[in-house]
Amino acid sequence: MTGIKVTDLSEEEIERICREIGDSFYDHKCGVKKDGTTEYGMRNLINSREKMYRHMKACFVAGYESGCLYSTSERGEGYIIVTYKGHDISFKSGVKMIRAIVKNLGGIRKGIKFLKRISGGGTTYEEELKKKKIPYVNLGMLVVLKEYQGQGYMRQLMEMLYEIADEQNLPIVFDTDAENKLEKYEHLGMNLAKTRDLGDGVFMYDLYRPAQKIQ
């Protein structure tokens, strides 16, 4: 593989990385879509910098604890969380992640409201694959740290994802929250499967890449 599995981060390193990931998602400028619609991304659902940090940390730690976190190198220029059947978020880490996310949202009632908002855009492409019992690889998170952006590390992370999927002979599915992010993923080989309108300027774009090997 072109990168490494991350297994030995200190608490201080996790804190630093997750702070930067939270800032990256919170500060991302979605702007205006090609059809003229203004979009706001996840920031319209998780509307404070601190909440965004805690949300991203919950996801990052779950991936790290489950052995699903990868990086471009020992320097940690960028990170991805990759899961598939047999290589998924562990039950213990998953429960811990859900509890942290619900607490961050303000409790069970607000957590349910958040889930209803997410599901308001219709069935995800991932859910469609599950119903058809089609196994797949999922990209749970991709981030390039600020000082390394614009240097080709996003492409390197995507190549790592493709390598994992090709080794498993599985399709890839994941979503993103901005049209300008979608365009980057399409440029790097992903395809738009469907667009979900969650209302109030929030859109989710479901991306897909078929298995590359002949069955």
Indicate whether 215 pLDDT > 60.
no
Domain boundaries in the chain?
4-209
Write down the pTM of the prediction: 0.94
Query: What topology does CATH give the domain 4-209?
Result: Aminopeptidase (3.40.630)
Instruction: Give the residue ranges of DSSP H helices in 28-136.
Output: 49-65, 91-105, 108-119, 125-131
> Mean of the pLDDT values across residues 146-175?
95
> Mean of the pLDDT values across residues 186-203?
95
Indicate whether 214 pLDDT > 70.
no
Contact criterion met (CB below 8 Å) for 45 and 10: no
> Mean of the pLDDT values across residues 39-63?
95
Contact criterion met (CB below 8 Å) for 205 and 39: no
